[in-house]
Amino acid sequence: MTQTVRSERALRLENLTRVEGEGGLLVRLEDGKVKEAKLNIFEPPRFFEAFLRGRGLQEVPDITARICGICPVAYQMSAVHALEATQGIQIDPAIRSLRRLLYCGEWIESHALHIHLLQAPDFLGYESGIAMAQNHRMEVERGLRIKKIGNDLVEVLGGRAIHPVSACVGGFYKVPARSELQALKSHLEWALEASLEVVPWVAGLRFPNFQPDYEFVSLTHPTEYPMNEGEVISSRGLRLKVAEYERVFLEEHVAHSTALHSVRADGGTSYFVGPLARLNLNLHLLHPQSRKAAANCGIHWPSNNPYTGILARAIETVYACEEALAIINSYHPPERARVDFKPRRGDGCAATEAPRGLLFHHYRVDEQGLIESAKIVPPTSQNMRRIEDDLRQLLPPLLQHSDEEIIQACEHLVRSYDPCISCSTHFLKLRIERR
């Protein structure tokens, strides 16, 4: 009688910094094959969509900004655009430029943080940005200074660097004087030169050879690199108005996670959002210096390697500095900081490009301007299924490696997406079951 021997092997990494959020990864192997690769997001839901109901529409930008401490501007901008659509509000072009400038500040600070402290340590073999600074002090200090300049820009426009409070439906509660923005110019000019130095440094990192077949999805705009408005396009020929988003993309509940998974409605397939998707689909819309940096970095665009997302972030940092300087140079304060309006019943949606990718908001408002329903689809939930698909492809060649090597490879791949599961600091517990 032959007895089947079943062996199980479990790995647990209790704490991992450098990714915002808390969750885990389960990998189940049978007969040397990957049977399951699941991201277990076990943070309790925060119910933002539920407690927005019944709130006045002017409360929404301040509340949604609390969803994330790193990209609060993205949530504010998506909210104000969607709510203005419910009210039929047309904003002053100067207000539109200020909102784009505010978004530039967020891209600068978020990208600089991710590049220098969250992902570069993976490529260079360090456990943290602090450890990396021992041998790469100049690069880390440069990154931190770029980040601070982005935070300073958010503070001038938004009233404070974290969870800014100035944006509102119809415009801003207060707009800056021209002199306040002019005072930032020399710092942004330094940040532009510094970010141009970051691109070849990042391009010199060793990217693992991993190139799945992705459908990249992002906004696009006729005349500018996508940030706070546009149509939705994909690398497989999709093009639609933002109002059609929910017809094409669905959110699904999965048993192993409190995070929803977004998929294509016509086949349940995953897709990829974020800086790499934006750059692949909108390379021609970069400003001259960022376009030149992309052309000379040694990567052929479009790139299907998720690890080159760090390089896309570096190039977008150059662009955000260029765009910020262009807006400041042409800025004249608008006559009114915001548009007055009388609340009315309405339905509206909007999408913007958060640092981590496409962010969608949809609101219904009653006659008094109170929220009847809210739907918020963040970039991470849109990438969640895609990350699992990537892990299934990544793991087979690694199965004969040590537990530690497998853990490191999985972490590195997940961090390349820069997922923001929440504003906490722990992400990954890895458990491998071998049978």
List of domains in the chain = 48-382 (1.10.645.10)
Q: What pLDDT is attached to residue 426? A: 28
Task: Kindly list the distances between the CA atom of residue 270 and the CA atoms of 68, 256, 266, 387, in Å, as whole numbers in the listed order.
Answer: 24, 17, 11, 9
pLDDT band for 431, please (50, 70, 90 cuts).
Answer: low
Per-residue model confidence as pLDDT tens digits over 80-99: 999 999 999 999 999 999 99
Q: Calculate mean pLDDT across residues 373-394.
A: 91
Q: What pLDDT is attached to residue 21? A: 55
Structure token pair of residue 82:
């969607």
Look over the chain and give the mean of its residue pLDDT values, rounded to a whole number.
Answer: 89
Q: Which amino acid is at 330?
A: S
State residue 427 phi and psi, 5-degree precision: -130, -60
State the Cα–Cα distance between residues 354 and 75, nearest whole angstrom. Answer: 8
Q: Encode burial over 140-174: b for 16+ CB neighbours within 10 A, e otherwise.
A: bebbbebbbbbbbbbebbbeebebbbbbbbbbbee
Structure token pair of residue 367:
């006659």
Per-residue model confidence as pLDDT tens digits over 207-217: 999 999 999 99
Per-residue model confidence as pLDDT tens digits over 329-353: 999 999 999 999 999 999 999 999 9
State the Cα–Cα distance between residues 277 and 291, nearest whole angstrom. Answer: 16
pLDDT band for 200, please (50, 70, 90 cuts).
Answer: very high
Q: Please give the radius of gyration of the chain, using alpha carbons only, rounded to the nearest integer.
A: 22
State the Cα–Cα distance between residues 118 and 18, nearest whole angstrom. Answer: 5
State the Cα–Cα distance between residues 331 and 324, nearest whole angstrom. Answer: 10
Give the 3-state secondary structure of residue 107.
helix
Q: Calculate mean pLDDT across residues 368-372.
A: 96
Give the 3-state secondary structure of residue 302.
coil
State the Cα–Cα distance between residues 232 and 247, nearest whole angstrom. Answer: 12
Q: Calculate mean pLDDT across residues 6-32.
A: 55
Q: What pLDDT is attached to residue 1? A: 43
Q: What pLDDT is attached to residue 46? A: 67
* Number of other residues whose CB lies within 10 A of the CB of residue 203: 19
Percent of the chain, pLDDT > 90? Answer: 71
Structure token pair of residue 95:
């207000």
238 burial level (CB within 10 Å; 0-12, 13-18, 19+): middle
Q: Among candidates 65, 74, 83, 73, which has minimal Cα distance to 169?
A: 83
Percent of the chain, pLDDT > 70? Answer: 89
Q: Range with the lowest mean pLDDT among 67-71, 98-102, 246-250? A: 67-71
Structure token pair of residue 53:
């109901």
Q: Among candidates 83, 167, 78, 58, which has minimal Cα distance to 378?
A: 78
* pLDDT at residue 20 tops 90: no
* Residue 252: strand pairing partners: 261
* pLDDT at residue 322 tops 50: yes
